[in-house]
Amino acid sequence: MHVGIIMDGNGRWAAKRGLPRLMGHKRGAGRVKDIVKTSIELGVTTLTLYAFSTENWKRAAHEVEGLMKLFRGYLQNNFVELNEKNIKVKFLGDPTPLAADLREQMENLEDLTKDNTLMTLNIAINYGGRDDLVRATRKIAAKVRDGSLAIDDICEQTISDHLDTVKQPDPDLIIRTAGELRLSNFMIWQGAYSELAFVKTSWPEFTPEVYTEVIAEYRSRTRQFGAVIPKGAKVVK
């Protein structure tokens, strides 16, 4: 089971309490560890967390700087533990604009955990669904240009095989916290048939108990994938 989470509401959580937005992000960063642990307990085999989008660079410079500092801290504090728990870490998105030391941490963690098998943890940083498709298209176009791929051989699987999530299952469920009703450029190709759950709870308050309830509700659904499923049949895993 692959679950994607749009971790929204950190800034609003802080604002409601008269705190700086970065305090909300700090509280949200602390929530990640609980949700990773609960994911394993719930049988989630792939978890994708939307940490920083391609559009988030438009935020105030001090907020972007603070987010990057929190991200560094998360990697440093969890580097060893993620590996010891047999979690494979994969980073989605274009790392080019990130600081060199941060890219090095990311590469080291991916390399360290590449053979782990309990769960895959995708962290989407400087990620956007459209950007993912653009980068995939460039890779495909390069193969057509050098003759290693024929235009007529391009199909849906070809595109999937050139996205950041290559060899991973598409998300079964995409959760967005804090009540907003949009995907905000998150996994727009991979999420074509994902079930959606928009919850009012902000990310800092998205406890394991709330998460468990969302997963239970998802598992009560019947997924049709465009087909007509007989009444009473269950397709959700």
Is 234 exposed, middle or buried, given 0-12, 13-18 or 19+ CB atoms closer than 10 A? exposed
pLDDT class for 39, splitting at 50, 70, 90? very high
Which domains, and CATH codes, for the chain?
Answer: 2-129+171-219 (3.40.1180.10)
Q: Which residues of 39-62 are buried (b: 16+ CB within 10 A; e: fewer)?
A: bbebebbbbbbbbbbbebeeeeee
- pLDDT interval class at 228 (50, 70, 90): low
Identified catalytic residue from 8, 132, 164, 172: 8
Cα angle 121, 237, 1 (rounded to 5 degrees) comes to: 10
DSSP per-residue letters across 195-216: EEEE-SS-GGG--HHHHHHHHH
Per cent of the chain over pLDDT 70 is: 95
116 an active-site residue? Answer: no
Instruction: Convert the pLDDT of each residue in 144-201 to its tens digit.
Output: 999 999 999 999 999 999 999 999 999 999 999 999 999 999 999 999 999 999 999 9
Q: Which of 29, 19, 93 is nearest to 56 (CA)?
A: 93
- State yes or no: pLDDT of 224 exceeds 90: no
Catalytic residue among 34, 56, 126, 153: 56
H-type alpha helices, the chain: 10-16, 21-41, 61-84, 100-113, 129-146, 156-160, 208-219
Contact call for residues 13 and 202 (beta carbons, < 8 A): yes
Q: Is 153 a catalytic residue?
A: no
- Other Cβ atoms less than 10 A from the Cβ of 87: the count is 20
Q: Indicate whether 110 pLDDT > 70.
A: yes
- The mean pLDDT of the chain is 94
Contact 180, 201 (CB under 8 A): no
- pTM given for the model: 0.92
